C-alpha cells in the first residue's frame, strides 16, 4: 500500500533576540507581526492619523511614517501620541531627524545605511539617545539604495552585499554597546531576497523584518511577497513582515495577515473555502463566494465557510467546514457543523449563510 504521509510542521523558528517596538514584542517567541507604512504626507497630521486608524482597523500592528522634512519631524510628537499602534519613524539622509523621532516618543526608528551620509560619526550619539529612551533601531538595507562602496565591491545588490551592509551598520552600533536592533535586507527579486535573509539569519541573532521591496501592483506584489515570506517563514525565518504594494496600505495589511493565517502562524479569522467552479456547477459560484465574503467582512471569530458549486465535492467540504452550502439544481443544501439543516432556493443561499454565520459567531463568542 501507499506509505502514510506524516504531516511536516514548519521548521522550528530561528532563535532571535526579542526587542520591544512600543508594546509589540518582535523576535524571540513573539508572534510574527504585521506592519505597513502610511502614504499620507506625514506633516498632514489629521490625514496621517486617519490612515493609521484605518490600518489599525485592518489589523496592522506597527506603522511606519516617512520623515523627509522638518515639518514631518515636527508632526511626530502628536502622531506618536495619538496613534493606536506603535509608530516607527523612517529616516533617510538626515541624522538630526533620528533625534527628533526619539524625542517625539516614536516607538522605533528606521535608518538606511546606504542613505545616511555622515551618519557613522553620529552612531555613538544615536545609540546613547535610543538606549536612554528604550527605542530600538531598524537597520533597513534596500537594494535600490545600497551603500556605494558595496555596490562597487559586489557589482550589484547581491545577497552578500545586502547582508554585509546591514552587519557593518550593526557593528557600528555594537561598538557603543547598542544591540536593540532589527534588520531588513529588501530586494525586489524574491529569490535574491530569500537568499539574503537566509544568509543574514545565519550570521546574527537580531530579529528580522521581512520585505520584498518595490514588489509592484497589488496582484504581482501579493504573489511575490507571499512566495518569498512563505519560503522564509516556513524555514523559521522572520519576526515581522511588511508587504509592499503599489496599492492602499490597508491592502498590504490584509495580505500580510492572510500570509500568516495561511501558514498557521496567526489564528484564522474568517476563511472562505470556495470551489473554482467548473462545467458541473449549477449555480454562479463566483457571485455566491463574493457575496458571502462581503456579507461576513470584519467577522473576527475563526469560522470556515464553504461555498461549493455542485454535489461532487460540495457535501464533503461543506460538512468539513463550520458552515457551508452544496449547490445543485438551483437549490442549496445548507450545512451547519456537518449536518444539513435545510435546503433553500439559490436566491436565499447568501442570506441564509450569513444568518447562520452570525448565529454561530454569537455562540462562539458566548462560549
Q: CA angle 264-88-76, nearest 5°? A: 145
Beta strands per DSSP E along the chain: 19-21, 24-26, 33-37, 62-66, 87-91, 108-111, 137-142, 181-186, 209-210, 240-242, 270-274, 303-308, 323-328, 331-336, 339-345
Name 61's Cβ contacts closer than 8 Å, sequence gap at least 6: 24, 33, 34, 35, 85, 86
- 310 annotated binding-site participant: yes
* Nearest-approach distance from CB 282 to ligand SF4, in angstroms: 8
DSSP 340-364: EEEEEEGGGHHHHHHHHHHHHHHHH
* Nearest-approach distance from CB 312 to ligand SF4, in angstroms: 4
* Nearest-approach distance from CB 267 to ligand SF4, in angstroms: 27
CA-CA-CA-CA dihedral for 232, 215, 217, 293, to nearest 10: 20
Interface pick for ligand SF4 out of 280, 337, 342, 359 (rule CB under 6 A) = 280
Task: Using the minimum distance from each CB to ligand SF4, give the nearer residue, 80 or 281.
Answer: 281
Residue 310 lies near ligand SF4 (rule: CB under 6 A): yes
Residue 57 lies near ligand SF4 (rule: CB under 6 A): no
Task: Using the minimum distance from each CB to ligand SF4, give the nearer residue, 208 or 283.
Answer: 283
Q: Quickly list H helices, 59-122.
A: 70-82, 95-103
Residue 275 lies near ligand SF4 (rule: CB under 6 A): yes
Distance CA 238, CA 16 (A): 9
Contact string (CB under 6 A) for ligand SF4, positions 289-308, x = contact: -------------------x
Distance CA 60, CA 241 (A): 10
Task: Using the minimum distance from each CB to ligand SF4, give the nearer residue, 190 or 314.
Answer: 314
* Nearest-approach distance from CB 366 to ligand SF4, in angstroms: 33
Residue 319 lies near ligand SF4 (rule: CB under 6 A): no
Residue 314 lies near ligand SF4 (rule: CB under 6 A): yes
- 317 annotated binding-site participant: yes
Binding to ligand SF4 (CB under 6 A): which residues in 166-225?
Answer: none
Contact in structure between 10 and 243 (CB atoms under 8 Å): no
Interface pick for ligand SF4 out of 313, 316, 343, 358 (rule CB under 6 A) = 313
* Nearest-approach distance from CB 284 to ligand SF4, in angstroms: 11
Could you tell me the end-to-end alpha-carbon distance of the chain, in angstroms, rounded to an integer? 43
Q: Which residues are annotated as a binding site?
A: 275, 278, 310, 317
Q: Which residues are annotated as a binding site for [4Fe-4S] cluster?
A: 275, 278, 310, 317
Residues engaged in binding ligand SF4 (CB under 6 A): 275-278, 280-281, 308-310, 312-314
Amino acid at each position: 500500500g501507499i506509505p502514510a504521509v506524516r504531516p511536516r510542521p514548519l521548521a522550528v523558528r530561528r532563535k532571535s533576540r526579542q526587542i520591544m517596538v512600543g508594546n509589540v514584542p518582535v523576535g524571540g517567541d513573539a508572534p510574527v507581526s504585521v506592519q505597513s507604512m502610511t502614504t499620507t504626507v506625514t506633516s498632514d497630521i489629521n490625514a496621517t492619523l486617519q490612515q493609521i486608524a484605518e490600518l489599525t482597523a485592518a489589523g496592522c500592528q506597527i506603522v511606519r511614517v516617512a520623515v523627509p522634512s522638518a515639518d514631518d519631524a515636527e508632526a511626530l510628537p502628536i502622531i506618536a501620541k495619538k496613534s493606536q499602534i506603535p509608530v516607527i519613524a523612517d529616516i533617510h539622509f538626515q541624522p538630526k531627524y533620528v533625534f527628533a523621532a526619539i524625542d517625539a516618543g516614536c516607538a522605533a526608528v528606521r535608518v538606511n545605511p546606504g542613505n545616511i551620509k555622515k551618519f557613522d560619526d553620529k552612531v555613538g550619539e544615536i545609540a546613547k539617545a535610543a538606549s536612554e529612551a528604550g527605542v530600538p533601531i531598524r537597520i533597513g538595507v534596500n537594494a535600490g539604495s545600497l551603500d556605494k562602496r558595496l555596490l562597487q565591491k559586489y557589482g550589484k545588490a547581491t545577497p552578500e552585499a545586502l547582508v554585509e551592509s546591514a552587519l557593518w551598520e550593526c557593528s557600528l552600533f555594537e561598538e557603543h554597546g547598542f544591540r536593540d536592533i532589527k534588520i531588513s535586507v529588501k530586494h525586489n527579486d524574491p529569490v535574491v531576497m530569500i537568499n539574503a535573509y537566509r544568509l543574514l539569519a545565519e550570521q546574527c541573532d537580531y530579529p528580522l523584518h521581512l520585505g520584498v521591496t518595490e514588489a509592484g501592483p497589488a496582484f504581482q506584489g501579493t504573489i511575490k511577497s507571499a512566495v518569498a515570506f512563505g519560503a522564509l517563514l516556513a524555514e523559521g525565518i522572520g519576526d515581522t513582515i511588511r508587504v509592499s504594494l503599489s496599492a492602499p496600505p490597508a491592502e498590504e495589511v490584509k495580505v500580510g495577515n492572510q500570509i500568516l493565517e495561511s501558514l498557521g502562524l496567526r489564528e484564522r479569522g474568517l476563511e472562505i473555502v470556495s470551489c473554482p467552479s467548473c462545467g458541473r456547477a449549477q449555480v454562479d459560484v463566483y457571485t455566491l463566494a463574493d457575496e458571502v465574503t462581503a456579507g461576513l467582512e470584519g467577522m473576527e471569530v475563526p469560522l470556515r465557510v464553504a461555498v461549493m458549486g455542485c454535489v461532487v465535492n460540495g457535501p464533503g467540504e461543506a460538512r468539513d467546514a463550520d458552515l457551508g452550502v452544496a449547490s445543485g439544481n438551483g437549490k442549496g443544501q445548507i450545512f451547519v457543523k456537518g449536518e444539513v439543516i435545510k435546503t433553500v432556493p439559490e436566491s436565499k443561499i447568501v442570506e441564509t449563510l450569513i444568518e447562520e454565520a452570525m448565529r454561530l459567531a454569537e455562540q462562539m463568542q458566548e462560549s
